[in-house]
Chains A and B, each alone.
Chain A
Amino acid sequence: MSKMDTVYGKTKDNYRTKIVLKSTVLFIWFVILTIICLFPIYILLVNATRDHTSIANGISFIPSTHIFDNYKVVTSADYRLNYRALYGYRNSLIITCSACFLTVFFSALTAYGIHVYDFKLKEISYAVVLLVMMVPMQVTSAGFLSFMSKIHLTNTYWPLIIPAIAAPGVVYFMRSYMKSSFPLDIVEAARIDGCGEFRTFVSIAIPMMKPAIAVQAIFAFIANWNNFYTPNMILINVKVSKKTLPMMISAIQSSDRFNDYGAIYLAIAMAIIPIIIAYVFLSRFIIAGVALGGVKE
């Protein structure tokens, strides 16, 4: 009996040490990956507080005190020709918020229309939505630009905002969500109570779909905020005060004016920090949303 105990105890201990060993090794590996993930961002933040000469002399992990000097340079007359952060925030916010609202509202509307009503083209229209989901933007951009320039919409914000109404991926996501958690009886009940069709959608369907809408709104916001391709294509000849933030960042390195390293790092940091702050608060929703498989750029 005692012999058996020792034998069993041994295997159990063996198993346990194995698990502990594996967990420790993996933990160290995860910490290394975390450092790699955060390293460029950390250096960015540190360098935003250092002055030009010390950055040129080499790397440092300790923040310095020159952030206000750098800020003065970034907002000085020289930089204003190419980089004006406040205008950048404003323009990016205008485009992003309107596009985000249109995407979410009209995708919910389309998904609701396909899900709730019975009509002849119902299945066909859903199949079309699925089919066009995979056509990438880059493929159509030559025709898009030539069409926009023909109807004189280049250098305006309209081509960046209006197309947001048609987002097939979001419609697909909303439809799947409705299938699992939007019973049609509610629509019938609303009808009996004399509620109009559109009002049913706004005051019953939208509140019921809040989780799906929140996830898709976050992703639409990120995608539009980070978009460099389309704005840079459409806004060809605009003043710096009409450019979006990513466009301003991209102008930094192609200009000779920018030779103060500290100021360049600060300019980049000013573009990146708002989205990192937003991420800190919303990360749980974002990761849950990715896990649902609804998005991929």
Chain B
Amino acid sequence: MATAAQRRIKSISYAKYGYIFILPFFIVYLFFQFWPLINTFIVSFHGNSDTGLDTFVGVKNYTDLLFGSKNQFALATQVHESFLRTLGNTVILWVGNFIPQLILSLSLAVWFTEANLKIPGKEFFKIVMYLPNIITAASVAVLFVQLCGQSETNPGAINSLLNKIGIVKSLPGDKVDCIPFIEGIWPSRVIIMFIQTWMWFGNTMIMLMSGIQGINPSLFEAAAIDGASSGQVFRKITLPLLTPIMAYTLVTSMIGGLQMFDIPYLYNKDGKVGEHVETIAALIYSYFHVADLNQSKLGYSGAASILLFMITLILGCIAFYMTRDKDEIAKKKQRKKIAKQLKAESKQFGGFSI
């Protein structure tokens, strides 16, 4: 029974406050994020510094990036080559950091959540393993350049450590046969993969741990009573039930990996981005990061951004498709089938709708 006062309160519409409260968010979003996205599209159909930024060039930027030109010395060829090179670097660096990161964090998450293991200081380990993630990536990159770099007179911290252990040989004259961690193609890539793994495994571990803790504990108990080994528990219970959160990790890591910027961009000695570690985000950045925007390759950077966006979108869809819950889909199909049968039956009996 609603009293008169209650009815009156119900009759007052508060809808306008809803609009007022969400308005700032949407205005700022439209202005600072949605319009820039549209603007990136617009920019990608316009020229670069050579033709002027306001000239409409159609899909030329896209064709240049994807196919280059027949003239070997044309800008288009150069742009095409850098695009493919940086895309390859990005994939290599991402795969090289994601696989060890996932193996490490998954195993750690399983061990941390196993109830019967008596390991002192679990909280401390968790805190320390997450620590690298909160340090400024730019500082981390510069720090690793200092640690890994070497010169004529200075073997560098890592090389001299490896020398002490005996992995790197000593040369006559108090010198060390250094590994070129910054100049070398694979050494520099491996170091960047290591930094990325170092920074992100703690984060992934904690997310996977919360996923494992969300699994119904009675399942683990039942498995233990049935005498399942910890390997069996992992394969038959943990892994299948962890699929959704693994899919989430995969997608976010993939999107993040395609945007990988700070560390590859700063992992060099002279301010020039290393050719073998330059990622697609760094390429886009270098195209528009000039003091005077009119001197930039803004068109190319816009087109490359849109291509990157497309790749992200496609990969995201594929990942979701591959990791979707197959049982759930089978059930849905069955339900549909039953519904169809029911419908057909009801038609047979004179078209009564249920």
Q: Please give the residue numbers on chain A whose beta carbons come within 8 Å of chain B beta carbons, in ascending order.
A: 19-20, 22-23, 26-27, 30, 33-34, 36-38, 40-41, 43-44, 47, 55-59, 106-107, 109-110, 112-114, 116-122, 125, 128-129, 132, 134-147, 149, 159, 162-163, 165-166, 168, 171, 188, 191-192, 197, 201, 222, 225-226, 228-229, 232-233, 236-237, 245-247, 249-250, 252-255, 261, 264-265, 268, 271-272, 275-276, 279, 283-284, 286-287, 290-293, 296-297
Contacts and interface: CB of A to CB of B under 8 A. Distances in A.
B28 A165 contact: yes
B17 A106 contact: no
Contact-size category for B: 35 or more
A250 B143 CA distance: 10
Contact of B142 (A27, A261, A268): A268
A162 B25 CA distance: 11
The secondary-structure label for the interface of chain B is helix
B9 A47 contact: no
Given A37-B129, A40-B147, A233 B142 contact: no
B284 interface: yes
B29 A132 contact: yes
Given A43-B147, A110-B22, A291-B209, 4 more contacts: A135-B309, A136-B255, A226-B134, A236-B291
Contact of B284 (A47, A138, A191): A138
Contact of B125 (A34, A135, A246): A34
Interface of B: 9, 14-22, 24-26, 28-29, 32-44, 53, 108, 111, 116-120, 125-132, 134-147, 153-155, 157, 160-161, 164, 198, 202-203, 206-207, 209-210, 245, 248, 252, 255-256, 258-259, 261-262, 266, 268-271, 281, 284-285, 287-291, 293, 298, 301-302, 305-306, 308-309, 312, 316
Contact of B128 (A34, A146, A254, A272): A34
A57 B288 CA distance: 41
Contacts of A276: 131, 135
27 contacts: A26-B111, A56-B154, A110-B25, A114-B22, A116-B18, A117-B14, A117-B18, A118-B14, A125-B22, A132-B29, A136-B255, A136-B259, A139-B308, A142-B302, A143-B35, A146-B39, A168-B29, A226-B138, A228-B262, A233-B289, A236-B291, A253-B269, A253-B270, A253-B271, A254-B270, A291-B206, A296-B207
Nearest to B122: A30
Listed from nearest, the 7 A-B pairs whose CB atoms lie closest are A254-B271, A113-B21, A117-B18, A143-B39, A143-B40, A144-B36, A166-B29
Contacts of A134: 255, 316
B1 to A, nearest CB: 17
A142 B284 contact: yes
Contacts of B24: 106, 109-110, 165
A287 to B, nearest CB: 6
